[in-house]
Amino acid sequence: MRLTLAACPVTVTSMPVATPSRTISAALGTDAIDAALASALSFGNGCPTKLAEAMRYAVLSPGKRLRPRLVLMANAACGGEPTEALPAACAVELIHAYSLVHDDLPAMDDDDLRRGRPTCHKAFDEATAILVGDALQARAFELLATQIHPAEAAAQCCAELARAAGAQALVGGQADDLAGLRPGATADDLEHIHARKTGAMFVVSLRLGGIVAGANPAQLAALTQYGQRFGLAFQITDDLLDVTGAEEAVGKRVGKDAGRGKLTYPGLWGAERSIEQATALIAEACAAVDQLPGDTQPLYELAQKVIHRDR
């Protein structure tokens, strides 16, 4: 399934018209991110061969690289030099990959397919998958601490990523998601989970890009607003894809939420209203970064793609 606005008569006047952007060039696209990730996952003799192979399997598998791209886009939008933000881009992708490896474990979401390939614990084993997550998390903070300059920016990046990945955000959201929502739960209850489980990593990706660019508090606040709205719209479309997406396109099992009785946005609102809400959120996200000093076009373009994605 490809989500399209044609399914729902919504008029959005504040959405800028996308035109090709030169700031985030091919040199700073997924190829550059993948090269930087491969370099970050090159270890010396102290790392066991199987562990290194499993880490690369988990991180370098085909993917959208959405979070690291947000780091680079936010950096450009704040007038920075995106190449300087590549270590931060790698750090957020390593945290994201670790969270997926752990989420897929039998004790968690119990998934056997990720990005169109067997999940890490299926390709290797459960113990290795747990260690992969542990090592990826440590490597993420090592990259920030040693490759972001000046030291004050590195410290702020470490603190913000730790908070976004911790008990009050990513991990806490996953814990609540595993526990399930009480009968009669509302959209606000669902948003509270996804703002932490999914949204926090989108927000911190943008903020790290801004921090590396030297963004001021107002600019960081604008990036935060974009990330919050972008993240919720992304989750709504993710729920829609689980209902009507094709497994081959999505790259993971679909229909599993309904099978487990999980509350989702289409389950609460239906497909049409879910698309309406996602569309409105994307318009708000784009408006939030309208006054940033650099090139915001890539952020506009990416936000629009969320509505039309099929994976």
Weakest mean pLDDT among 52-66, 188-202, 243-257 = 243-257
pLDDT score for 257: 58
Closest CA to 237 of 197, 262, 218, 265: 265
User: In this predicted model, what pLDDT tens digit does every residue of 92-149 receive, in sequence order?
Assistant: 999 999 999 999 999 998 999 998 899 999 999 999 999 999 999 999 999 999 999 9
Rounded to 10°, the helix 217-244/66-77 angle is 150
Closest CA to 126 of 106, 98, 97, 103: 106
pLDDT at residue 244 is higher than 80: no
- Domains of the chain by residue range: 24-308
Query: How many angstroms separate the Cα of 251 from the Cα of each of 87, 173, 241?
Result: 27, 23, 11
pLDDT score for 70: 97
Weakest mean pLDDT among 107-116, 178-187, 209-218, 269-278 = 178-187
**What is the mean predicted confidence (pLDDT) over 156-173?**
95
Which structure tokens are listed for 27?
């040199």
Weakest mean pLDDT among 37-41, 49-53, 257-261 = 257-261
pLDDT score for 306: 87
Closest CA to 77 of 215, 202, 201, 217: 215
Query: Which CATH code for domain 24-308?
Result: 1.10.600.10
